[in-house]
A and B are shown apart, each in its own frame.
Chain A
Amino acid sequence: MKITAETVSHVARLARLAMPPEDLRQLAPQLSDILEYAEQLQQVQLDGVEPTSHPFQEVNVLRDDVVRPSLPRDLALANAPEAEAGQVRVPAVLEGGGGA
């Protein structure tokens, strides 16, 4: 599988990464190598094999739906780059929203 700089750019955008052209040029052949190496999994007969997503196939773990202490608001906001009125502040979400 040959990965082009365009493909890397597309996937990077899906992952919310903005990559400069020089990084894309460096990454494309490296990703090609890695995916080419991974192609060996295509050579093996795997039909009907159950996939493993967890080493011990845990079932869902539930707890009682009761209120219990959680992180106080001031601590939860202490690492926020911008906070205001007990909330996290972010740049405008909608274009032309002005950002108040």
Chain B
Amino acid sequence: MSGKTVKEILTSIRQGETKSRDWVQQSLSAIEQIDGELKSFLLVDPEAALQTADRIDSGQASEGALLRGVPYALKDNIVTKGVRTTAASRILENYIPPYSATSAQKLEAAGGVMVGKTNMDEFAMGSSTETSAFQKTANPYGQEYVPGGSSGGSAAAVAAGLVPFALGSDTGGSIRQPAAFCGCFGLKPTYGRVSRYGLIAFASSLDQIGPFTRTAEDAAIVLNAICGHDPMDSTSARGQGEIDFAEGIDAGVKGMRIGIVRNLPEEGLDPAIKAAVEQAIRTLEQAGAQVVEVELPHMEYAVATYYLIAPAEASSNLARFDGVRYGRRAEASGVIDMFERSRSEGFGMEVKRRIIIGTYALSSGYYDAYYKRAQQMRTLIRQDYDRAFAHCDVILMPTTPTTAFKFGEKADNPLQMYLNDIYTIPANLAGLPGASVPCGFAGGLPIGLQILAKPFDEKSILRVAHAYEQLRSFAWQRPVLGVAE
């Protein structure tokens, strides 16, 4: 990893050693220097960022502001008032949102400085950021490798040191998988922890916003700023109270119960990843954690379940893109023709594929066989985790079965691409929090250790991840595309 942590930047600004402008300028210079090749940003607004930094430096943000003066980036499906937001789709190529997402408003209120919007798979549908209508983002550890997805731009920008943190969204692994591929920390909070108001919807019962950072502690700092119930999102969780996710993060793992999965599906699992994860578990065990075996008997059905439920919800959510109120409108003779042409010209192939799968799964005659059965399986998967967490505080497993793959390697075989999500999907189906923390390298590419916990117990994840970050001893490799220390 390259660059400073959120904590280091905050400390420096609070002690008066540096100003926000220094860090924003540094971030903009790094983007200027590296992003021509990395292509992690879809939009950068240096002038606006520097103006915001100056306002904060001249005393606009309070002393105690949670992210005073810290630069950051947002995935381009998080709407920002007056700043073009595309979800990496042609259909929203010129969309200027009239409002900001709650998470964006909260970062602004916390004194953060947005430097730009990051690339992603179109409407967050993909695992490689290759379905973006605009550009391909490279993996900082090798230009011929994908950064993962769908939040590939945010992961690459943080891993390369262009920004100290970025927000992404995770529907089936879209924060954790790119964090694993790019070698940074990624946290998908519990469903409902962070407001989805202003997150361009993919699958509403699965989507959740979360941070990419260099460390678990930084993720705690960012989560403090963005979490909470929001009257504008009826699915955001009530009664979250005042939580400090950084409090107790350094309590260590002594006495914690770590669950490992008996009969984890291992088809296609890279032996180097299996070995790195086992090594990480041994490291935590030696530090005093107790390892227990748990069973997740329905995990093998998670991918099939997800790839019916997510497209079904997407087919409904994306019906709003009809060329009427916003977005691309095609020339047409009648209104139906206008809908069809606008959507066909505006959506890319992966988005169309998922809309069609979803429409099929919801259509009369197939609803019971596909959608309803998937929802029933979702119940069994949720219950698996309820039972497993009666015996442990966290569950550890690989984030992904392989390290980053090459561009085009899976682009022609959607099912192969989907199977890559086997370890990340269950947390979304069950609403659980999950994180990916770097735990080694194979062939020069990063490996991610996934940590899952009970709903609303992000603190256990952060505590284990923080402890592991202090203990891990593998040789850290530097990205080929990244800022110098």
Contacts and interface: CB of A to CB of B under 8 A. Distances in A.
B64 interface: no
Contact of B370 (A3, A12, A38): A38
A40 B87 CA distance: 33
The prevalent SS among residues of A at the interface is loop
B98 A80 contact: no
B480 interface: no
Contacts of B192: 55-56
Contacts of B119: none
A92 B335 CA distance: 6
Contact of B340 (A8, A11, A17, A30): A17
Contact of B375 (A12, A34, A52, A61): A52
23 contacts: A11-B360, A13-B340, A16-B319, A16-B336, A17-B340, A23-B352, A27-B353, A31-B357, A34-B307, A34-B418, A35-B360, A37-B307, A37-B415, A41-B308, A42-B373, A46-B377, A52-B429, A58-B235, A71-B99, A80-B326, A91-B333, A91-B337, A92-B334
Contact of A82 (B231, B329, B369, B431): B329
Interface residues of B, number: 69
B178 interface: no
B473 to A, nearest CB: 37
B379 A19 contact: no
A65 B457 CA distance: 35
Contact of A46 (B205, B335, B376): B376
B457 to A, nearest CB: 14
B287 interface: no
A1 B262 CA distance: 32
Contacts of A14: 359, 363
Contact of A37 (B304, B356, B382): B304
A86 interface: no
Interface in A41-57: 41-42, 44, 46, 49-56
A52 B306 CA distance: 12
B415 A30 contact: yes
A54 B207 CA distance: 11
B372 interface: yes
B191 A56 contact: yes
Nearest to B92: A79
Contacts of A15: 315, 319, 343, 355-356, 359
A91 B414 contact: no
B352 A93 contact: no
Given A55-B192, A80-B324, A91-B337, 10 more contacts: A13-B340, A31-B353, A31-B356, A38-B307, A38-B308, A41-B374, A56-B237, A61-B234, A80-B325, A92-B333
B373 to A, nearest CB: 5
Closest 6 CB pairs of A and B: A55-B431, A51-B375, A79-B326, A81-B329, A61-B234, A75-B98
Given A34-B357, A37-B304, A93-B335, A49 B99 contact: no
Nearest to A80: B325
Nearest to A56: B431
Contacts of A95: 334
B377 A8 contact: no
Contacts of A23: 349, 352
Nearest to B81: A75
A17 to B, nearest CB: 5
Contacts of A91: 332-335, 337-338
